[in-house]
Amino acid sequence: MSVAWLFPGQGSQSVGMAGEWLRSSRCAREALDEAADVLGFDLAGLMDQGPEAELADTYNQQPALLAASVAILRAAYEQLPEPSFVAGHSLGEYSALVAAGSIGYPDALRLVRERGRLMREAGQRQPGRMAAILGLDDSAVEAVCAATPGVEVANYNAPGQVVISGTVAGVDAAVESLTALGAKRCVVLPITIAAHSALMAQAAEAFATVVDRVAPMDAAIPVVANLSGKPIRDAAEIRAELKGQLTGSVRWTDSVLALADAGVTDFYEIGSGRVLCGLVKRVLRERAGPAPRLHPMETPPA
């Protein structure tokens, strides 16, 4: 058995997330106490009681999702098999880097809080749009994005499931073209932040200086990187990954394939929800051999 730990990103939050772990585990509660000390507010209360709109604000959502993943990881640590790899989807990469020993938890909290602030300001300065495109080949979506000013592929989540991002006009025009091409569904996401696009360039430039101050260390466990879909461990590569992530595409399909090619059989999703388990199943469903074993950890095992 070869194991990968996976960590979810934005969109997986919900009021009450990690609640069962927090009620049953002192280690989990201590992770939230530590977050409150670092951030200066009651993050656990927001996670447990909301309001939902405040939790969904990227400025709060990013540290909340990181804290939920770290709380679950600490609570379940002795039950979890040792991983050969870790990976995180977008924001989840910070949780993966904490798990891999590259970034300390307090530094990661500060990083994602600042990341959220800069992304929120970018969305206020120039509102953008994101849309999920279902049922078309990646190449068809890429061609439409290349022909449409102001839009690009943000997330390659699974075959036939990608997310585009960019200006409101660009995404709307691309959605119209992709619908005409035969997309099964085009779902405009209820956000004004065009993550993983050129609209984040100013935020990325400011964030780069924050990353340099933190100085990630070499990872003790290989981290499959969003930007390349390949394992990295070197501190300089990790620093470049974090700097490029705000404007670069999340290559989750390639990441899952790389894990499978490396012999990973068991995927543990450590955090809120079970979206990543679903994506792993979708990416690998046509692959020969045994089906992957999926282990969502959003609640304690029965």
Domains defined along the chain, listed by start? 3-124+197-296 (3.40.366.10), 128-188 (3.30.70.250)
Query: Rounded to 5 degrees, what are φ and ψ at 264?
Result: -65, 130
108-141 pLDDT, tens per residue? Answer: 999 999 999 999 999 999 999 999 999 999 999 9
Sheet holding 293-296, edge to edge: 231-232, 223-224, 85-88, 3-7, 266-269, 293-296
- Looking at residue 286, its pLDDT comes to 83
pLDDT, mean over the chain: 97
Percent of the chain with pLDDT over 70: 100
Q: How far is CA 35 from CA 102, 108, 182, in A?
A: 18, 10, 46
295 given a catalytic annotation: no
According to DSSP, the residues that pair with 152 across neighbouring strands are 165
- Cite the DSSP H helix spans in the chain: 19-24, 26-39, 43-49, 52-56, 58-76, 92-99, 105-125, 138-147, 168-181, 201-214, 235-244, 252-261, 275-284
Catalytic residue among 12, 89, 102, 196: 196
What predicted TM-score, i.e. pTM, was given to this entire model?
0.97
Measured in degrees and rounded to the nearest 5, phi and psi for residue 158 equal -170, 165
pLDDT digits (tens, 9 = 90+) for 34-47: 999 999 999 999 99
Q: Over the stretch 20-29, which tens digit does the pLDDT of each residue have?
A: 999 999 999 9
For 65-88, write each residue's pLDDT tens digit: 999 999 999 999 999 999 999 999
User: Which tokens is 296 given?
Assistant: 């969502």
Strand order through the sheet with 250-251: 185-188, 128-134, 161-167, 151-158, 250-251
d(CA 110, CA 194): 22
